[in-house]
Amino acid sequence: MSNPVYLALDLPQLDAARDLAMKVRAHVGGLKLGLEFFCAHGHHGVLDIAHAAKLPIFLDLKLHDIPNTVASAMQAINTLEPAIVTVHASGGRAMMEDAKAAAGENTRVVAVTMLTSLDERDLARTGIEGSPHDHVLRLADLAHDAGLDGIVCSGQEVGAVHKQWKDGFFVVPGLRPAGAAAGDQKRTVTPRSARDDGASVLVIGRPISRAEDPLAAARAIEATL
């Protein structure tokens, strides 16, 4: 089975991101480049990392706008041939349908449901009553009906989502090895728990990138899977 870990390269500098990718590339299955990286380095930066590390790229742009704008943005990144791209499920069904229609045929489009940095109280403050579990399941249904490949959710919900969407593609961030600092993440589980519950991709950033020895940290996480 291939390594499900995608390392989040949340670093502002291209050289530092490339160095980290090259250091751990044998112990992760892919690389995630997000807003921080894309705003700073754009297409050029993505191609640089992809060509150097020769690993699948998850372009985490969390697109969220009217359908026409999101579809155009999706078309504009097709030349980068990302393996995975994110949109926000709260953008609605038509936005997700148009995003998927505009994506390249080898790109999985997945919808962010409820950020792992939020809990039930935060959700209530946005005007949505109920549990994260119910909210994630509702948005997973919407993403499924829109024809997306899967969703992003926390490891606390992935088991339930997997039961109702058997062939879905599930990206799980907010992962913390036992004893690791949660930082700004609120709905955390261990990488192993998320894997056992049906995660397809495990997104891991700071537990590797901020470790004293990133290579040892990546190896240690791999050994738990």
Active-site residue list: 60, 62, 65
By C-alpha distance, which of 203, 207, 220 is closest to 6?
Answer: 203
Query: Which one, 86 or 102, has the nearer CB to ligand OMP?
Result: 86
Q: Is 200 in the site for ligand OMP (CB under 6 A)?
A: no
Query: Which one, 112 or 194, has the nearer CB to ligand OMP?
Result: 112
Residue 125: how many other CB atoms lie within 10 Å: 9
Q: Is 185 in the site for ligand OMP (CB under 6 A)?
A: yes
Q: Is 204 in the site for ligand OMP (CB under 6 A)?
A: yes
Single out the residue of 10, 48, 65, 81 in contact with ligand OMP (rule: CB under 6 A).
10
CA angle, residues 174, 128, 32, in degrees to nearest 5: 25
Interface of this chain with ligand OMP, residues 96 to 135, rule: CB under 6 A: 112, 115-116
CA 122/CA 166 separation, integer angstroms: 29
Q: Is 34 in the site for ligand OMP (CB under 6 A)?
A: yes
Residue 137, C-beta contacts closer than 8 angstroms, at least 6 positions apart: 157, 160, 161, 164
Single out the residue of 206, 215, 222, 225 in contact with ligand OMP (rule: CB under 6 A).
206
